[in-house]
Every structure is written in C-alpha cells, then in structure tokens.
Structure 1
Amino acid sequence: MSADFWAGYISGAAGILIGNPLDLIKVRLQASSQSVTSTPSNYASQFSSAGILIRGATAPILGYGALNALLFVTYNRTSDLLNTSERGLPPNLWTTWVAGAIGGLATWVISTPTELVKCRAQISSSPIASSNWGITKEILRTEGFRGLYFGGVVTALRDSIGYGFYFWSYELSTRLMMAKISDNFPKQQSTGQEAAKVLLCGGLAGVVTWASIFPLDVIKTRVQTQVLGRHAENTPLIQDVTPEPLQQRRLSATEIARNAYRNEGPNVFFRGLAVCSIRAFIVNAAQWAVYEWIMQELDPARRALKSEDIPP
C-alpha cells in the first residue's frame, strides 16, 4: 500500500475518535423537526450516559478510515494527472478543487452505507437498537444490500462538492500562511511554525467544507434516518408531512427539502452548524496533522522536501 493510503486511513480513524461526541449532537439537531436552542444545557442533554459518547462510532472508524484512504489516494493521483504546472510549483487551485471533487465522488461507495448506519445509530434511543451491526443486519434483512445505499445520490453530491472545497481551502490557506510566515520570518521558519500552519489550515479547511455543504448534509441526514412502519408522530424526520398514520414510503431528498422548508423555514438547513463548525475545526486540524506527519515518515521524498524548507 502507498504512503498516502496509510496516512489517509490512520488520520481518518483518528478524526472519528476525536469528533464523534460532537457529531452525535450535530446529527440529532439535524434530524429533529423541533427547534433546539444552542445552550450548553441543551447540548449536554444529548448525552444520557457515557456510552452514548461513542454511539455510532464503530462504523465510521472502520469505514471512514478506508474512506479517507481512498479520498487521499484518488485526490493525489487525480491532482498529478490534472496539474500541468512545472515540477516543484504549487498546483492550480481550480485543478485542486476538481481533484478534490473527484476524490469525494470516489468515496461514495464507502460513505453512503457508513453514514446510513451511523446516523440511524445516533438517533436511536435504544442501546440495543443502536448497535451498528444490528442496524446493518436489519437493513440487509428487510431491504437487501441495496438498502445500504439509500440516500446515495445526495451523499455523493455532498461529498463531491464538500471535498472539492476541502482540498481547495487547505491549499489556499496554506499558501497564504506560508507567504505570511515568509514575510515575517524569512530565515527563522521552524518545525513549530510548520505544525501551527498545518493545524490552522486543516481546521479552516474543515470549517469551509462544512459551511459549503451543510444544507445538503441536513437533507442527507433526514433522508437516511427515515424508517418505514413507524408512526409519523414518533418519527421526527417526517412529522406533519405524511397524512397516513404509518409511513408507507420513504420521501425523496427533494420532498424532504421542500417539506422541511415549508414546515420549519430556511433556518432548518443550518441547524447544528455551530456545533459542526467547532467539531470540523478540531477534527480536521488533528486529521491533517496526523496525515502530514505519517506522510513525512513513510515518504522519503516528502521528508527530504520538508527538511529543505525548515532549517534545523
């Protein structure tokens, strides 16, 4: 396996471990059809026990590690193909966005079932029903393998757009940060400054990414957490939407978006964005730091390049 595969896999798993508690709050805020005020007590009420902090984390740890590996490998290979700049020069920002979008689209095969299981586990009030493996078995039993890819279109659209901005914003902020450091410390760049740059740029990339696709993520969450056969009043995703006493069919992404806007207003598409932005900064700062560190350890050429840029 290549260095970027392992760097992507390990950094992805690390990001999930760090960010799962805040991701749990984000999903519950998105899935709820009722307005939730952003107070500490309301956020704290999302955790009824210590075990809930890692609810839904198993599937993402296994899946997102593989997803992140596939993302970085696809991005790096696509970027090499699209980049026409001379060797050693930074890539064009447009090709960076396109390579990121292609990388995000490639992750669809992993992200859709992973997100489906994770979201259903996180909104479940029953510890038994929230088992990742239990949810997966139930989906396979009732809907077959195809059921694991429910909501795949909106997930693919979210990932493609989001990861385009992810790599674009990281590359742009890195260039701006390097220019700032070079102006202020032309001969004193250190490993500490390099680490600070990676942490800050990684965190900013995460925030920009989620801000760009958050409405799509709200729709995706509501699409994927629909469960047939539940009473409408007990299913927050479809409250006051279907006239039937039992939900007879799942709503499409377009229907979900239209009904959410009609019943809850435009603010519904940004519910949970504050929590998500905090999580995105922390997780992606750590994730990029882990990725860059592992790449330097496993890729001799990259380590040599860094040693030329940073004096001892």
Structure 2
Amino acid sequence: MEEGLEPSVLQLSEGTRDFLAGGIGGAFGVIAGQPLDTIRIRQQQPGAGGAGARQFARAILAAEGGRSFFRGMGYPLCTAALQTAVVFQAYGIAARHLAGGQPTTALSLPQVFYAGCFAEGPAGAPGYVDPLALLASILRSEGPRGLYRGTAITCIRDFPSHGVYFAVYEACRELFEPGSRAGGSDSAAALWVAGGLAGTLSWLSVYPFDVVKTRMQAAAASQSVYAGSHAAEGAQAFFRGLTTTLGRAFLVNGAIFTAYEVAHKLLSQQAPAAAAQAREV
C-alpha cells in the first residue's frame, strides 16, 4: 500500500451508504410501479370519469399498445432514483441526530416519524411527452414560475406522509420479524410487505392533496383547481384513482425498501472487507 493512504478512505460514510442504497431502491421502485403509475395519473385527470384501473388498462392497451405503460420511464427512473436517494440520506441524518450517538434502532416510533418528516423531498411524476419538449413548452407559455406550480401543495402532501412512511415501515418490520430493527432482517418477504404497507398507508393519509397537485400542474395558472373540481365532480373527485394508487404503492415501496435494505447491507459489508484488504497490501 502506498505510504499515506489510510484504509479509512476506502470506507463509505453512513450518509453515503444511505444515499447509494436509496438510489438503488428508487430505481427498483420505478420499474415495479410504472404501469400502475401511468394508469393513476390518467385516472386523476379532469373528465376521466369513474372507470376503474382494469378499464383504463384495457383502453390504453387497445389504443396505444403495451409499451405505452412504460412510456417516459427513463426520466422518472433518473429523478426517482435521485429523489429516493436524498430521502433516505436525509432520513438517516435525522435519525442519527435524534439518536444522539446511539444506534438508530433505539429510536421510538414518534422519533422515527419526526425523522421521516425531515426526509421530505421533491416529488416527480412521469410525463407522457418528451421532458425537454415539455420543459420548453412550459417556459414559453408561463416562464420559470410555471416549473414550480404545485410546489406548496406538494410540500403539504409530502411532509406528513414521509413521517407516516418510515414509522409504519419500522413498526411493521418489527411486527413481522421481531428483533429485526436491532439485528437486521433475514426475510425479503417481511421487508417487502412492511415496505408495501408503509407506502400504502402514507399515500392514504394524504391522497386528496395528490389529486389537487396533479390537476394544479395540468391546469391553467389562473384556475382554482380545488373549487372547480369540487363544483364539477363533488368530493369523489379527490379520491379518483385511489385503488390504483394504493396497489401501486404496495408494489413500489415493497421494492424500494427490499432493494434498499439489501443494498445497504452489502455496502456495509464491503467497507470492512475493503479496509482489511488494504491493510494486507
């Protein structure tokens, strides 16, 4: 080994491991949930009617073919991976701060909730046109401000839902596999179900805000989305696509947490091994 090269430089920090594992989890989540996300977004659009997920799926398949369910996946694959990486890194930072130097597994569920709220990150949704063309169109018609339409409602949606997200995951993980919070999980099924329930319940807690956000981002800047939607369709307007969203949330977040935990475990194992090899050189 070259003089001056310390083994510690080969080790990843906790924050870096959180970031990398979160990015891997986010990518797996997009792949698992893209078809249902395509249906969800279309169900939420004004005038979509009360058709169920199967009817929408058949209509899309008949009119556009199976590939349409994955149209535009490249963009959310990149953005969701980055977003999830930031969310898990922020959650890890907050959890370690609240733990005060103790293992983060010692956190109570309320503390997990607070750490999750801190992890709220920017949300993205897959589009159905080329993202660069959409960007140019928004800038031409509304200017830079158009890119931030719906930011406030997105924050209102994401802040509590991320707290619910991590708290439910930790509670379910321990319920399905007692001792896993302290000693790690050996069951991919337990991780998937815990992650799936975490995603489902976090979406359920804020779903109407997501409908308003989707319609706000698609409407003209001067429109009052909430009042217009309620007047035209009633309260049910804010629950369109709920079943599809919850089904998608289970698949996506089961994939995210399972991939995250596996990747984080592998990254944690690699660091000591790399350091040991460096000491032998």
Greater relative CO, 1 or 2 (CA 8 Å, sep 6+): 2
Kindly provide the amino acid, as one letter, of the partner of residue 250 in structure 1: S
Which of 75, 85, 102 aligns to 1:59? It is: 75
> Which position in structure 1 is the counterpart of 2:93?
77
> Which position in structure 2 is the counterpart of 1:282?
251
Structure that is richer in helix per residue: 2
| TM-score under structure 2 length normalisation | 0.82
1:298 matches 2:270: no
> Which position in structure 2 is the counterpart of 1:40?
54
CA-CA distance at 1:85 after TM superposition: 8.8
Matched residues in 2 for 1:29 and 1:51: separation?
18
1:180-195 matched pairs, under 5 angstroms: 191=186, 194-195=187-188
1:116-195 matched pairs, under 5 angstroms: 118=126, 121-122=127-128, 130-179=129-178, 191=186, 194-195=187-188
1:214 matches 2:207: yes
Matched residues in 2 for 1:263 and 1:139: separation?
26
> Which position in structure 2 is the counterpart of 1:205?
198
CA-CA distance at 1:289 after TM superposition: 0.8
**Contact 1:33/1:264, CA 8 A, preserved across alignment:** no
CA deviation vs aligned residue, 1:35-69 (integer Å, no higher than 9, x gap): 22326234321332233112232221111111111
CA-CA distance at 1:205 after TM superposition: 0.7
> Which position in structure 2 is the counterpart of 1:267?
236
**Contact 2:149/2:217, CA 8 A, preserved across alignment:** yes
What's the % identity of the aligned pairs? Answer: 31
Which of 14, 27, 44 aligns to 1:13? It is: 27
Matched residues in 2 for 1:301 and 1:213: separation?
38
**Contact 1:83/1:92, CA 8 A, preserved across alignment:** no
Matched residues in 2 for 1:20 and 1:30: separation?
16
Q: Which runs of 5+ in 2 are unaligned?
A: 1-11, 274-281
- Count of aligned pairs between the two proteins: 254
**Contact 2:95/2:104, CA 8 A, preserved across alignment:** no
> Which position in structure 2 is the counterpart of 1:101?
117
**Contact 1:58/1:132, CA 8 A, preserved across alignment:** no
**Contact 1:36/1:42, CA 8 A, preserved across alignment:** no
CA deviation vs aligned residue, 1:99-151 (integer Å, no higher than 9, x gap): 111111xx23xx2xx33xx3xx33xxxxxxx1122112222333333322111
Kindly provide the amino acid, as one letter, of the partner of residue 290 in structure 1: A
Over 3 Å counting, the alpha-carbon distance change for 1:88 and 1:29 in structure 2 is closer
CA-CA distance at 1:299 after TM superposition: 1.2
Over 3 Å counting, the alpha-carbon distance change for 1:56 and 1:294 in structure 2 is same
**Contact 2:37/2:245, CA 8 A, preserved across alignment:** yes
CA-CA distance at 1:164 after TM superposition: 1.2
CA-CA distance at 1:167 after TM superposition: 0.5
SS at match of 1:179: coil
Kindly provide the amino acid, as one letter, of the partner of residue 19 in structure 1: G
CA-CA distance at 1:176 after TM superposition: 1.6
| TM-score under structure 1 length normalisation | 0.74
CA-CA distance at 1:262 after TM superposition: 2.2
- Report the RMSD for the aligned CA atoms in angstroms: 2.6
